Chain A
């Protein structure tokens, strides 16, 4: 009965590969997010989707492509992985009726070698 789940939890891959991270929420929220937390623990938003529509797209390399098949799912595909992409990626969700409090998934630790 996990609220926001992500897979995989750990991802180790080589430079140049393409990988995907999946996120699902069962809270009935209408907005989902992707955040990146770097080695200095700074948490920065990358994308936000509301009802499957992209509403926030921060300055992120176009190697990163989010996709939301429905309100409960938000995936992140990364092409041509680089060393600097190594970080923890968090998915989060929220809803307008609860004042946009965001609830985070457990994170995916991506290591690019």
Chain B
């Protein structure tokens, strides 16, 4: 089982709709959870982070965390063509040697006008 799993997509979403992305993780010691957006040929860009169970909203983005079920999700409301990118879920697992982010394989999102 991979440490962090995401559906690779592509997730095709009509413009204006809600895009829902899911991520599951295997280590119950995971404490911090991050969503990165990566446009083709560019570097990952941090868009959301969440540490506590529940929802966290930032503009059109909402991150949801459920530690008991070991999943974290990202909702993109009012999806725009500019949201078309690969979204990477990352999990921070504290280790004695230092913090390490483990990334999922990413979900490619395609917003169609």
Contacts and interface: CB of A to CB of B under 8 A. Distances in A.
Interface of A: 31, 33, 40-45, 48, 50, 55-56, 90, 94, 99-107
A99 B105 contact: no
A106 B95 CA distance: 27
Contacts of A43: 44, 88, 103, 106
Interface residues of B, number: 25
Contact of B98 (A41, A56, A103): A56
A104 B45 CA distance: 7
Interface string B9-33: 0000000000000000000000010
Contact of A42 (B32, B44, B51, B105): B105
B99 interface: yes
Contacts of B97: 55-56
Contacts of B45: 104
B62 interface: no
Nearest to B45: A104
A106 B49 contact: no
B80 interface: no
B43 A100 contact: no
Nearest to A57: B97
B46 A90 contact: no
Contacts of B32: 99-100
A90 B86 contact: no
Which of B90, B97, B99 has its CB near the most chain A CB atoms (within 10 A)? B99
Nearest to A94: B99
Which of A41, A50, A56 has its CB near the most chain B CB atoms (within 10 A)? A41
Contacts of B103: 42-44
A40 B44 CA distance: 15
B39 to A, nearest CB: 12
A99 B88 contact: no
